[in-house]
């Protein structure tokens, strides 16, 4: 995944609306940053959903019936949706996928069919690291099969796995539930509707601010809290492109023009981004995302950090903001010195020299 930037705040003068300074298609590559965020998110989500709370599950006696919560889990089949409200997931239940839910089952894996004794009777419940390995081994394939190959690996949803409770494991349950949930770095939000009928585009409501952790975007937060970017609009590419995935260059041209238009509408002025020394960022839909049916992209407003990634912003860009704790100083109309480019950014165009 790559992240592009259009920066009206830099250059000799503020461009007119819709005519922001255009950098080349190699404007800014966020592959390493986004990859790092994805790895953190994957690990955190797996640990949060891999099973039940081991500290709050009563022990089974030999020959006893499984606890009630595991009856719901163990009967969950492909296409079922699950939800819960307690942190230990002891109230896990199956619900209709049209109702709010936290997990949609895409496949059931029976570990008792594994060769060897790793999952035999009397063995220990797998730890979170092993559960992550089992998710990667089995669940990515299960979800792709469930959706007929139309899963967006960069979209709104994330592949995950659920295991029996330690008590259910002790009683002999060796089944895993592969499935999907809304991708998040903390508590995963609920969703409605089956994944097969859902738009997988990773987009947010206009006006949403994404939190910041280690200079990277996280989950939505109140814009009064430190955040990395603010969503100023969403671009739908489906109306402009038909057929196969559009080229990166064609996407760049269309999305940048739309994001500049949307940002001017959102802020009430085409000069607001420049005056607040902010940068408009937008993304690129990879062919796998396009073929999975994801055709929408967010327009992000943020500020690159000299420490790599994003600088923390407090306040909505529609009002007064602080960037790294300081109020932004609008650049003079005659131009200003530009900050060091972010890693991977293409060189900025030469600045005109005073005569």
Instruction: Render 59-109 in DSSP notation, one character per residue.
Output: PPPTTPPPPHHHHHHHT--TT-EEE--STT-TT-EEE-TTS-BSEEEEEEE
Predicted confidence (pLDDT) at residue 42 exceeds the cutoff of 70: no
CA distance to 14, 152, 195, 269, 343, per residue, from 33 (Å): 29, 19, 27, 31, 10
Residue 280, strand partner residues: 6, 301
d(CA 325, CA 99): 42
User: What average pLDDT score do residues 218-240 get?
Assistant: 96
How many Cβ atoms sit within 10 Å of the Cβ of residue 290? 18
pLDDT score of 18: 32
What is the share, in percent, of the chain residues with pLDDT greater than 90? 59
Segment (H or E) for 282: strand 279-283
Q: Are 223 and 232 in contact (CB under 8 A)?
A: no
Region label for 310, one of left (φ > 0), alpha (ψ between -120 and 50) or beta (otherwise): beta
Predicted confidence (pLDDT) at residue 338 exceeds the cutoff of 80: no
pLDDT score of 137: 93
pLDDT score of 87: 82
User: Nearest-CA neighbor of 278 among 195, 339, 334, 192?
Assistant: 339
d(CA 56, CA 165): 10
Q: What is the pTM of this model?
A: 0.76
Predicted confidence (pLDDT) at residue 253 exceeds the cutoff of 80: yes
pLDDT score of 35: 37
* Choice between 6 and 186, residue whose per-residue pLDDT is larger: 186
Residues 6+ away with beta carbon under 8 Å from 133: none
pLDDT band at 260 (very low <50, low <70, confident <90, very high): very high
pLDDT band at 355 (very low <50, low <70, confident <90, very high): low
pLDDT band at 331 (very low <50, low <70, confident <90, very high): confident
């Amino acid at each position: 995944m790559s992240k592009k930037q259009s920066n009206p705040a830099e250059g000799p003068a503020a461009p007119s609306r819709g005519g922001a300074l255009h950098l080349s298609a190699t404007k800014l590559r966020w592959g390493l940053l986004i990859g790092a965020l994805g790895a953190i998110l994957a690990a955190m989500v797996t640990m949060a959903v891999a099973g039940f709370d081991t500290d709050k599950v009563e022990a089974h006696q030999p020959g006893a019936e499984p606890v009630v919560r595991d009856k719901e889990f163990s009967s969950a089949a492909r296409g079922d949706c699950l939800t819960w409200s307690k942190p230990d997931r002891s109230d896990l239940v199956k619900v209709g996928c049209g109702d709010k839910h936290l997990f949609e089952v895409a496949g059931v894996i029976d570990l008792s069919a594994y060769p060897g004794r790793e999952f035999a009777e009397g063995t220990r419940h797998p730890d979170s690291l092993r559960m992550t390995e089992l998710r990667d081994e089995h669940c990515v394939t299960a979800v792709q099969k469930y959706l007929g190959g139309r899963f967006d690996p960069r979209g709104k949803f994330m592949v995950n796995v659920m295991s029996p409770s330690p008590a259910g494991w002790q009683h002999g349950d060796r089944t895993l539930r592969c499935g999907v949930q809304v991708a998040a770095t903390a508590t995963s939000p609920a969703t409605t509707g089956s994944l097969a009928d859902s738009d997988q585009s990773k987009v947010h409501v206009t006006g949403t601010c994404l939190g910041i952790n280690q200079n990277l975007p996280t989950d939505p937060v109140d814009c009064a809290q430190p955040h990395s970017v603010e969503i100023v609009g969403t671009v739908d590419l489906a109306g402009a492109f038909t057929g196969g995935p559009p080229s990166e260059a064609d996407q760049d041209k269309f999305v940048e023009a739309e994001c500049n238009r949307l940002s001017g509408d959102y802020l009430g002025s085409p000069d607001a981004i420049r005056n607040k020394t902010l940068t408009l960022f937008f993304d690129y839909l990879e062919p796998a995302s396009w073929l999975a049916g994801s055709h929408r992209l967010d327009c992000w407003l943020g500020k690159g950090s000299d420490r790599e990634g994003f600088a923390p912003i407090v306040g909505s860009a529609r009002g007064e903001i602080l960037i790294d704790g300081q109020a932004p100083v609008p650049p003079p109309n005659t131009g200003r010195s530009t900050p060091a480019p972010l890693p991977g950014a293409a060189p900025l165009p030469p600045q005109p020299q005073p005569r």
